[in-house]
Amino acid sequence: MSAKSSWPTRSITRFLLPMADVMALLFSLFLLLPHLGTFPGATHVPRPGSGIWTPEEQKRIWEELTQLRRASDALPGFRDYLVPLRIDGDTGRLYLQMEGQEIEITEENVQTVIEDFQQRAARAGKKRLTFLLIADYSKPHPDQRDEARFRRWFAGTRYEYIPPPRY
């Protein structure tokens, strides 16, 4: 009795060589596809420049990609445009430290200050404007009336209360 092998006796190259021919034919058709619409008599819409987008579109897309990379690479704290404001613990008044001097924020100038910093945040790369209200909670202010006033002043604007730094 002779045992017959279950393995095929034909060489694998009998299968691979025709497969390689088919793959080469498909690859060459893939390369020719963009040129099939350019034969004489065909309605062909010429595209300006090379590629899919015009040079202006490419420049705009590149700028958007650069901005997105910068935004995604930035740490969360660097995506915000932070403006620290100090709350006087004795009087409840709000102060902005700017160019070496303290400016009092009042009902009359609060909108001007907010608009100014909104423009600065936009120029800084479309960052999110956040006002930090620094309060010393061991003093009598800010109280509920102060907080209601700040809520009214900064309506529609992002702000947060934080305790003063401990040194």
Q: Domain limits of the chain?
A: 75-162
Q: How many CB atoms lie within 10 A of CB 83?
A: 21
pTM to 2 decimal places: 0.52
Q: Give pLDDT tens digits for 19-50.
A: 888 899 899 888 888 776 666 665 655 555 55
Q: Give pLDDT tens digits for 45-103.
A: 555 555 677 888 888 988 888 888 776 666 666 678 889 999 988 888 999 998 889 99
pLDDT at 16 over 90: no
Question: How would residue 143 be classed by pLDDT, with cut points 50, 70 and 90?
Answer: confident
- Token readout for 34 is 């963009």
Question: How would residue 3 be classed by pLDDT, with cut points 50, 70 and 90?
Answer: low
User: For the chain, how long is the longest CA-to-CA vector?
Assistant: 110
Which residue do the tokens 């061991």 mark?
A: 138
Instruction: Give strand ranges (E) for 13-156.
Output: 80-87, 94-98, 101-105, 128-134
Question: How would residue 111 be classed by pLDDT, with cut points 50, 70 and 90?
Answer: very high
